[in-house]
Structures are given as structure tokens and as C-alpha cells.
Structure 1
């Protein structure tokens, strides 16, 4: 799960940075505000890559997904990109857990086979 989620978060890192470039052209938002918000989002997405296995890491990832969707009020295209990354985040968690379970079953099966060969 960690690999898939981290890949999604790295993609978000770049999307947040590019959204900052778009928001910088807006007249009603200061550049300081844009880069403060985008910087926090970018740093959070990188930090979450390392926090995924810790308690609350996945929930913080969901909070980032929500913030990405809400950023559509400043840059309208972010509504779509936020929903896309929200779907990717869900898929990363859902299928990542299935992959982790399959790997655990395979490792258990291999350990049993090796134990059976050792006793034979």
C-alpha cells in the first residue's frame, strides 16, 4: 500500500506546485498567500510519503485530498484534479491493501514449504 500511496502523493506534489503557478496569475490572491498555502501542501504531501505506515497517516492523506478539491474555489480546474487524485488515493489504499495481503499469504506459503523441506 505504501508504494502506491506514495506515488499518488508525489504526483500531488507536482500538481500543487503547478496549481500555485496558475493561482499566482490571479489578481484577488497575493503571491505570498499562494506560495504559503502551496508550500504547506507540497511539504505535507512529501511528509505523508514517510508517514503512511504510522497511525493517522492515511487519514491525513484524506485531509489532503479534501484540501485539493477545495482548492478548486481558487483554481477551478482543481475541482477535477482533486477528484481525480481522490480516486487515485482511494484506489491506492484499496488495491495496496489487497497486494499487501497477497504478499503476506505468499510469504506464509513459502515459509511453510521451506519448513516442510527442512523436516523432510
Structure 2
């Protein structure tokens, strides 16, 4: 799960940065505000790459997804990109857990086979 989620978060890092470049062109938002918010979002996406397996890591990832969708009120294209990355986040968490379960079953099965061979 960690690899899939980290890949999604890394993609979001770049999307947030590019959204900041687009938001710089807006007249009603200061450049300092744009880069403060984008900087926090980019830093959070990188920090979350290492926190996925820790308690609350997945929930913080969902909070980042919500913030990405809500950023559409400033840059309208972010509504679409936020929903796309929300879907990617869901898939990363959902299928990542399935992969982790399959790996655990395989490791357990290999351990049993090795134990059986050692006693024979």
C-alpha cells in the first residue's frame, strides 16, 4: 500500500505546484497567499509519503484530497484534478491493502512450506 499511496502523493506534489503557477496569474489572490498555501500542501504531500503506514496517515491523505478538491474554488480546474486524485487515492488505499494481504498470505504459505521441509 505504501508504494501506491506514495506514488499518488508524489503526483499531487507536482499538481499542487502547477496549480500555484496558475493561481499566481489571478488578480484577487496575493502571491504570498498562493505560495504559502501551495507550499504547505506540497510539503504535506511529501511528508505523507513517509507517514502512510503510521496511525492517521491515511486519514491525513483523505484530508489532503479534500483540500485539493476545495482548491477548485480558486483554480476551477482543480475540481476535476482533485476528484481524479481522490479516485487515485481511493484506489491506492483499496488495492494497496489487497496487495499487502496477498503478500502476507504468500509469506505465511512460504513459511509453512519451509517448516514442513525442515521437519521432513
Structure 2 CA distance for aligned equivalents of residues 71 and 64 of structure 1 = 10
Q: CA deviation at 1:18?
A: 0.1
Q: CA deviation at 1:32?
A: 0.2
Structure 2 CA distance for aligned equivalents of residues 54 and 101 of structure 1 = 17
Residues 18-74 of structure 1: CA distance to partner in whole angstroms, max 9, x if unpaired? Answer: 000000000000000000000000000000001111110000000000000000000
Q: CA deviation at 1:86?
A: 0.2
**TM-score after normalising by structure 1:** 1.00
Q: CA deviation at 1:78?
A: 0.1
Structure 2 CA distance for aligned equivalents of residues 59 and 40 of structure 1 = 17
Residues 75-103 of structure 1: CA distance to partner in whole angstroms, max 9, x if unpaired? Answer: 00000000000000000000000000000
3-state SS of paired residue (1:75)? coil
Q: Name the structure 1 match of 2:102.
A: 102
**Can you give the 5+ residue segments of structure 1 that lack an aligned partner in the other structure?**
none
Superposed CA RMSD? 0.3
Structure 2 CA distance for aligned equivalents of residues 112 and 53 of structure 1 = 27
**TM-score after normalising by structure 2:** 1.00
Q: CA deviation at 1:109?
A: 0.4
Structure 1 CA distance for aligned equivalents of residues 19 and 84 of structure 2 = 15
3-state SS of paired residue (2:61)? helix
**Can you give the 5+ residue segments of structure 2 that lack an aligned partner in the other structure?**
none
| 1:25 and 2:25 matched | yes
Structure 1 CA distance for aligned equivalents of residues 76 and 16 of structure 2 = 13
